Amino acid sequence: MIKTLLAGFCAGAALCSSVAAEPLRFAVFGDIQEETAAGHAKDLALAERINESNPEFTIFVGDIQGGGPCTDQQREEAAEVFSKIEGPLVFVPGDNAWTDCRLKGKGDWYPLERLEKLRETLVPKGKSLGQNPMPLKQQKGEYRENARWTRDGVVFVTLHMPGGNNGLYPDRYAFDEYERRNAANLEWLQAAYDEVTAQKAKALVVLFHGNPHWEDIYWRATAYRDFKSMLANEGAEIGVPILAVHGDSHIFRVDKPLKFNDGRTRANHVTRLEVFGSPERGYVMVTADEANPEIFSFTAVEVEGHPGQ
């Protein structure tokens, strides 16, 4: 059963122009975590469904497996799914296939070894995945999965910011790695802001995996605090709407997430899109259209719902 949901926001005066332009359409999905042969077949079918909608490009926002053991098979099966996408596909890492791999029941892997395997398979140098890859500008240094590209006046940037409190576990290895990655993410986000200004872009789309617990700016999910502050504060200064896209908590929603405790929005320039996640299977088609008063519109195509639906 397919259910299509529509939602939209006018994301700022910079995009609320009456000048018509060809709409930009891109697909987003994530959290494919049914670790069975039947689940893999359904993920391959989901890729074909995305192809039918013919997006300009597709972004996968993290988690290629669920709570089972970390295995090479899961990574290889994800690569097969991504190879079915006819256009470009950009991969964003989640937590289940690397930061969580040291946990009980996950195989007692060294997480950085798992991360390097993800890069070898799913993060080719200088370009995307998919049958027709597109060139990407990648961050120099350790985190080449942080990528950037521009299409039709919209700047896109990916950040390696997984679920599970941004991969920050209470041990020395994880803290050191988090500090390096957090600094790299903030530097890369600032580079995207600079790109928006230099190109006089009309919008910025920021893509990552982890739900940063937007509603709690004080103590919860502290490893996302720097990012949320930069999105709310420096992000406002670039003067264009920002669309923040993530997965992790498996709930499709579109909202204005950065609010004060009394519920008032404190960063109206930021719109959040969260995509489907297992056991639901689907994708979201995002359209940026200057002729649309709401500018960003979201068509969520649910290919398969919860069991029993």
**What is the model's pLDDT at position 34?**
81
Which residue has better confidence, 57 or 13? 57
Which 3 state secondary structure label does DSSP give 205?
strand
Which are the contacts of 239, defined by CB distance < 8 A and separation ≥ 6? 14
Please name every residue paired with 138 in a beta bridge, in sequence order, or none if there are none: 147
Residue 164, in any domain of the structure: yes
Q: What is the mean pLDDT of residues 84-96?
A: 96
**What is the model's pLDDT at position 167?**
86
pLDDT above 90 (res 26): yes
Model confidence at 221, in pLDDT bands (50, 70, 90)? low
- Which CATH number covers residue 169? 3.60.21.10
pLDDT above 70 (res 149): yes
229: which 2 tokens? 């502050």
Residue 309, in any domain of the structure: no
pLDDT digits (tens, 9 = 90+) for 113-130: 999 999 999 999 999 999
Q: Which of 110-119, 201-210, 274-283, 298-307 is the least confident region?
A: 298-307
CA distance linking residue 136 with residue 145, whole number of Å: 10
Residue 96, in any domain of the structure: yes
Query: Helix, strand, coil: what percent of the chain each, to 5?
Result: 30, 25, 45
The total domain count for the chain is: 1
CA angle 30–191–183, rounded 5-degree value: 75
Residue 108, in any domain of the structure: yes
The range of the structural domain enclosing residue 109 comes to 3-304
Which are the contacts of 40, defined by CB distance < 8 A and separation ≥ 6? 34, 77, 80, 81
Model confidence at 294, in pLDDT bands (50, 70, 90)? low
Per-residue CA distances from 247 to 63, 77, 98, 212, 286 (Å): 8, 19, 16, 10, 15
**What is the model's pLDDT at position 9?**
43
170: which 2 tokens? 């209470």
* This model's pTM is above 0.85: yes
pLDDT digits (tens, 9 = 90+) for 65-83: 888 889 899 999 999 999 9
pLDDT above 80 (res 60): yes
